[in-house]
Amino acid sequence: MPSISISAEGQEEKVQLDAAIVTLGRGLESDIRLKDIKSSRRHCQIVKIADGYKLVDLGSGNGTFLNGVAVKEQKLATGDKIQIGQTVITFEGGANGKSAPAPARTGAAKTATAGVPKTTGAQKTATGRVTTQAQPQTKPSTGRVPTGQHAAAKTQKSGGTSRIQKAAAGSSPTALSRATTGKITASSRKTTSASEKFKLEAGKKKSNPLVVILIGAGAVVVLAVIGILFMSGGNPEGELQLIKETIEKKLASARAAEDANDTRLALKLLKEALALAESKEAFKGTVLDIKGRIADVESQGGDVDRANKRWQEFKDEYEKPPEQGKKPRDLLDMARKLKMDYGSSKLPWIAELTQRIEALENLIRTTDQIEAKGEFQTFRNDMNEKHKLTKLETGMFGPAIKEWTETFIPKAKEAGKTDVVRQAESEIGRLQGRAKEVVLRLKNRIDGMEKAEAAAAAKQALEQVVGSEAEADARELVSKYP
């Protein structure tokens, strides 16, 4: 059977293509869910055609690449490589797979890395990893403050505001971190430092509650940045590396939250990672990726809410008394559609849904057997009485077979009652045997009859078996005894 091998984040998984159309993407509605942040919710499809399979792009945001070339629709051959973001999917066509010509490269065609930021030596893969732009090499910090900065850091008051406060207001985070690490000794000579004065002034004023709330909302990101600045010791390269590692950890945690269908936690972690990435120009490409991922998670969160709502509606109907709720067949259709839409997801109620589908199928099967027995027996009794089938001498077996074949069986098939159909076919076989017995019995005794009596007996036998498998033998007797 044809299959695909999915390679992502250092892991490989093989999936059999047992359906005519297989949809790949990040959304819950996709048959195969991809974790690549560059994958759309419904990214592409692998479609069975008369002579193999073809790849169809579903208008994805970042494109679908086949053997390094962006394609919209292309026939697949064994060994073809499909690339979605950093995920590589290898198509295996099975024993009958034939090679198909690779899509032609044109000047306008995108390469396999189209839309993907160029990587540097410090970069990692884009599947949940962070990309940074190359930074110029700088000399390690000695921890000393340049003479100009040292002079500017002295606390000479001017109009009630110290110079260190002015310098801090316009300096970079790195310069500010140096200014606040205790390296500047001039301020320590004063009885009251600038920070102490600020605390004294703040204590005299009442805080606005709204200001407190707004400050608290960004506290997590601010503290993270301050911690990174402190740990980097003012080294720009070290600072970028620490921010990068923090973003990667938050993205990995967000991915785990997504897998657990905890949309709220995933969004919280992604927004924290976004705030960190936006703090540095080097993470411009990462910012775009995280924003796209946030949009996907918000969309999937809506899908989960809709799925949970449909599950609750089904449970409410399932638990109603039989006289008030839907019929078992309607409930089964409702449950099967729910599983078809969300069966491949990790929603916590999928296992319970599967159990209820099995219970409904068993209930319907048992009910059908009871109804089938009743319907079959009723029709059989009617046929026995109408066509006098209880006696061989008077039974109109041919006409009875015709009614079973043309009336009863088509209705049973239309209703999907396979058990009833099997019972009817068995009854028809029994009646065919009875018709043959009528003709055979007449053949054994017709030679001893008078000519007129033999002709009447042959004619009566033909009326009894017309339309059955014994009709031809009966007609032969009629022609022999006209």
pLDDT tens per residue, range 53-96: 999 999 888 899 999 999 999 999 999 999 999 999 999 986 54
Lowest mean pLDDT among 53-57, 62-66, 211-215, 274-278: 211-215
pLDDT for res 405? 93
Closest CA relative to residue 133, chosen from 25, 351, 288: 288
Cα separation, 12 vs 3, whole angstroms: 13
Cα angle 264, 268, 271 (rounded to 5 degrees) comes to: 135
Closest CA relative to residue 470, chosen from 387, 417, 397: 397
Lowest mean pLDDT among 194-203, 237-246, 247-256, 284-293: 194-203
**What are all long-range contacts of 379-382, with beta carbons under 8 Å and residues at least 24 apart?**
379/404, 379/408, 379/424, 380/427
CB contact at 8 A, 91 and 79: yes
Closest CA relative to residue 261, chosen from 302, 301, 299: 301
pLDDT for res 234? 53
Mean pLDDT for the stretch of residues 438-460: 91
- How confident is residue 141, by pLDDT bands cut at 50, 70 and 90? very low
- Both tokens assigned to 275: 């705030």
The answer, yes or no, to whether residue 337 has pLDDT greater than 70, is yes
Cα separation, 274 vs 238, whole angstroms: 19
Full-model pTM: 0.31
Largest pairwise CA distance in the chain: 147
DSSP codes, 300-359: HHHHHHHHHHHHHHHHHHHTS-TTTS--HHHHHHHHHHHHHHHTTS--TTHHHHHHHHHH
The answer, yes or no, to whether residue 179 has pLDDT greater than 80, is no
Residues in the chain: 482
Q: What is the pLDDT of residues 368-424, one digit of tens each?
A: 766 667 888 889 999 999 999 989 989 999 999 999 999 899 988 888 888 888 889
- How confident is residue 294, by pLDDT bands cut at 50, 70 and 90? confident
Cα separation, 77 vs 4, whole angstroms: 11
CB contact at 8 A, 481 and 454: yes
The answer, yes or no, to whether residue 243 has pLDDT greater than 80, is yes
Q: State in Å, rounded, how far the first CA of the chain is from the last one.
A: 65
Mean pLDDT for the stretch of residues 154-161: 39
Mean pLDDT for the stretch of residues 234-250: 82
pLDDT for res 426? 92
In the block, residue with structure tokens 């930021």: 117
Q: Is 385 left (phi over 0), alpha (psi -120 to 50) or beta?
A: alpha
